[in-house]
Amino acid sequence: MNELSFDEKKYLLETIRDIKDFPKPGIVFKDITTLLNNKDAFNFLTDHLENRYKNYDLDFISGIESRGFIIGAALSARLRIPFVPIRKPGKLPYITISQKYSLEYGFDEVEIHIDAFSSKKDAKVLLVDDLIATGGTAKASIELINQTNATCVEACFLLDLKDLNGSKKLKDFVKVYSVLEV
């Protein structure tokens, strides 16, 4: 069950609500709260991810703020491995390292605790987020993981917004898996 069938993908996709013109006109926002609110769909998703990653010999799962926390933490509980959050600046209480990334107009930044993976030498980390668009946040997160002497072995997304080419940009750095593509 490493890949879902067409019907299984359709089932999950039908549980995700489209919100037109959010957060600004012309954008169709993929609202995954409806999937999370559907116990059968969310359990189906986490079953799928557990089956995909149970033999990866992972040491950690790291999720990107904030929806990556939900999926990543649920998967880490299933796999019985630690979860490490990647957050916006100023949200983590201990010493952090940060990575900036470009936006259309300006830049943003993500942070991780400097000792996030120190309990395991050469830790293998799975990066998780709800979606990949242009890939800037995910690329910065992968760079953060790798700066800590851990290795990001794969980046996993619920949704890949294919027209924005983010997953293509990441494939030069890490293996990418998207449950759904839109």
- Looking at residue 98, the DSSP 8-state letter turns out to be E
Quick one: pLDDT at residue 149? Answer: 85
The string of DSSP letters for 61-91 reads EEEETTHHHHHHHHHHHHHT--EEEEB-TT-
Place of tokens 């293509």: 168
Quick one: pLDDT at residue 104? Answer: 65
Q: pLDDT tens digits for the chain (182 residues)?
A: 488 999 999 999 999 999 999 988 988 999 999 999 999 999 999 999 999 999 999 999 999 999 999 999 999 999 999 999 999 999 999 999 999 998 766 789 999 999 999 999 999 999 999 999 999 999 999 999 999 989 999 999 999 999 999 999 999 889 999 999 99
pTM for this model (two decimals):
0.95
Domain locations along the chain: 6-181
Q: The tokens of 81 are what?
A: 């491995």
Hey, what CATH topology would domain 6-181 get? Rossmann fold (3.40.50)
Q: How many CB atoms lie within 10 A of CB 57?
A: 9
For residue 93, cis peptide bond before it (omega within 30 degrees of 0): no
